[in-house]
Amino acid sequence: MSEINGSSRNASEEPIYNIGVVARMTGIPVATLRVWERRYGFPDAGRTAGGHRLYSENEVSRLRWVKSTIDEGMQTSQAIKALRKHERDGRILSLETSMSGSLAQPAQEGSSLDTYHKRLIGALINNELDKADLLLGEVLALYSMDQLVLDVIGPALADLGEEWSTGRITVATEHLASAFLRQRLIVWQTAGPSTHPIRPVVLACAPDEWHEISLLMLGVLLRRRRWPVAYLGQAVPLPDLAKFVRDIRPPVVITVAMTEKPARELHNLGKWLPEAVKTGRPVVAYGGRAFNTKPELKEKMVGTFLGETLLEGADAIERMLRETTALTV
């Protein structure tokens, strides 16, 4: 705990904000600040003569960085450890940096995204899930959620498929690794910063489509951008999808097919959502590997093709949402 009197300090280190003000500035509830201080010795609060907590501008910046890192999906204890490690290593966390969750300085040698991807696949192939979990936390401390999803998890999943198809790993190992990554993606999709005040985007796999990881990754990218998501997951029958859409009235409906048969099933979507065909509301879009490898499958599809990559898809959906909802944030 820092002392208020007795030593000189610059303005950014002077404890001036009470706990209620800090809660409003950071979005962290007062009760949470007290729990963190008791459990982790963080944040570092000064005290008035009457024993009331006061916080400096620097401490507010540290709190904002930790909160943004937690919003990215890291556990509280890991976020605080990451903050302290960055400070020990001499990395500066500016106010701007604290809001983005990324570092002002580039990652150290040996901690590039490609290196992390290789370390992750090594841990997963060896069934070392604790090690894989720590690696994901380390990446989130250095990079954005988009970079983690697109440049670490995406390549790792591709490698897993290659290792399985060539017989270098067993089905059991592939399933364990995929389940581990799937669980993390689900958590990240449901957590994060507050969402825009609109109805959620609907994400659904085509009928008989059981490959959902890419759709989960897309949901995480959208959630990180503050778009609310209603994730329906694997193999959604079109009548059920249509009923759900009418019940919640989403601005945009996204369907994904990774293989040909489910993609052909999506050709019938207009039959179940005739209002979307007639009025353009809700906006309908689609994507997936099936449409990349067989472009002719797009010819009978209702809606807009999202592009060949996840990032193209996320950008396209964001444009649709801003146009449809007239959001300017």
Contacts of 300 (CB under 8 A, 6+ apart): 267
Q: Which residue has the higher pLDDT, 58 or 295?
A: 295
**Predicted confidence (pLDDT) at residue 84 exceeds the cutoff of 80:** yes
Tokens of 145: 């959620």
Q: Which residue has the higher pLDDT, 206 or 168?
A: 206
- What is the separation, in whole angstroms, between the first and last Cα of the chain? 39
91 pLDDT band, cuts 50/70/90, is low
List the one residue out of 140, 2, 13, 147 whose CA is nearest residue 82.
Answer: 140
Tokens of 246: 């009418």
Q: Which domains does the chain have, with CATH numbers?
A: 11-71+90-100 (1.10.1660.10), 113-190 (1.10.1240.10), 201-325 (3.40.50.280)
SS3 139: helix
Q: Are 323 and 304 in contact (CB under 8 A)?
A: no
Helices then strands, each counted (H, E), the chain: 17, 8
Tokens of 186: 């689900």
What is the predicted pLDDT for the residue at 236? 97
Q: CB neighbours (10 Å) of residue 122?
A: 15
Q: What is the pTM of this model?
A: 0.69
What is the predicted pLDDT for the residue at 246? 95
